[in-house]
Amino acid sequence: MDLNIHAPLPKKRGWRIGILGAGFIVDDCHLPAYRKAGFNPVAIASRTYESAERVAKTHNIDKAYANYEQLLDDKSIEVLDVAVPPNAQLGLIKAACARKTVKGILAQKPLGVDYAEAVEAVRACEQAGVVLAVNQNMRYDQSVRAAKTLLQNGTVGEPILATIEMRAIPHWMPWQADLGWATLRIMSIHHIDCFRYWFGEPQRIICSTRTDPRTNFKHTDGICAYILEYASGLRCIGIDDTWTGPSKEGCPSENYIRWRIEGTNGVAIGDIGWCKDPFTSPSTIRFANRGDKTFHEPKWSESWFPDAFIGTMAQLLIALESGTEPAISGRDNLKTMQLVDEAYASANSRSQS
């Protein structure tokens, strides 16, 4: 069975890509993926020239600019890859749209600090005629794509219950302390978007949060539990535990991100490789339907990090060359951003009642 784990690729690989940002996600994920796929990153800029120059040398990028404005002024750039903190994204997207030189923008998730900012970003790109896509890269994890295939081809049947359970400790970014976010807009957004990718739009989301005892900046959303309710009766449940017990303080632990889909015809179970050591560990899947005596357990060598980042850029390039909407368009991503805002609202309403 073809599980369609590999992202479609554009016919043209030579689109001139300019990159804003030079942090881990660019250095370890975007650029290794782009080189593997044969894409064409030609310029990079960061908050400091030193960072841009270092990453440019590591990945054989011709031009490192001293600042973001210089890269935005480069009229040869066709596609902009924005990989900066969410509170800096909107300004750069608007600046690129005002110059009217780039044809497409790949923005990071979350698409701004909230739904309202995401709407501004989408509106700015639409008014400027710039194609906007969002880097919701969990959609291109190989096990996640395999699950989508099993849903589409009837192996699972009508979905009844789906869960994603995260017991893993992310590396918090310094800018999170300024924004007061821990998990909902950083990790849960992946899982909420993944449920949307698999099943479409829910009727509502119910969410409860608490603080993470280890996280030393002010926040409310350290540990999150939420339910997406669908008109069909389907329930999707997420548990995002960034504490996982005192494992960093010497307690044995078992860290993982696992998902499970149960349907009328079968079941599929996945284990995400990103939280393993190394983070390039492949994800896995087991699935079976009525009549199977054992689980099917296909294997692959690719991993979420960095291989999924081929797919997120590819879907933008395909949209540009075909004149179609990206698979993860900015306008589609508004629905994910809205659900995340609704999750915060749900959690806040319960904490105040």
d(CA 334, CA 134): 10
pLDDT attached to residue 351: 66
Domain 16-138+307-328, what fold?
Rossmann fold (3.40.50)
Which part of the chain has CATH 3.30.360.10?
139-304+338-352
CA dihedral 116, 118, 119, 124 (to 10 degrees): 130
Beta bridge partners of 241: 167, 223
On whether the CB atoms of residues 196 and 230 are closer than 8 A, the answer is no
Outline which parts of the chain fall under CATH 3.40.50.720: 16-138+307-328
Count Cβ atoms below 10 Å from residue 290 Cβ, excluding itself.
9
Which pairing describes strands 223-229 and 235-241: parallel, antiparallel, or unpaired?
antiparallel
pLDDT (0 to 100) of residue 167: 96
Compute the residue count for the chain: 353
So what's the pLDDT on residue 171?
Answer: 84
pLDDT of residue 353: 57
pTM of the model: 0.97
CATH topology of domain 139-304+338-352: Dihydrodipicolinate Reductase; domain 2 (3.30.360)
Maximum Cα–Cα distance across the chain = 62
Q: State both tokens at 109.
A: 């998730």
Q: Per-residue pLDDT for the chain (353 aa), expressed as one digit of tens each?
A: 899 999 999 999 999 999 999 999 999 999 999 999 999 999 999 999 999 999 999 999 999 999 999 999 999 999 999 999 999 999 999 999 999 999 999 999 999 999 999 999 999 999 999 999 999 999 999 999 999 999 999 999 999 999 999 999 988 899 999 999 999 999 999 999 999 999 999 999 999 999 999 999 999 999 999 999 999 999 999 999 999 999 889 999 899 999 999 999 999 999 999 989 899 999 999 999 999 999 999 999 999 999 999 999 999 999 999 999 999 999 999 999 999 999 999 999 976 65
E-strand ranges in the chain read 16-20, 40-45, 63-65, 79-82, 104-108, 131-135, 159-167, 204-210, 223-229, 235-241, 256-263, 266-271, 284-289
Among the listed residues 218, 79, 54, the one whose alpha carbon sits nearest the alpha carbon of residue 135:
79
Nearest to residue 259, comparing CAs of 297, 301, 224, 287?
287
Angle in degrees, 0-180, between the axes of helices 86-99 and 115-128, rounded to the nearest 10: 10
Question: CA–CA separation, 75 vs 239, rounded Å?
Answer: 45
> CA of 285: how far to CAs of 211, 242, 271, in Å?
32, 23, 7
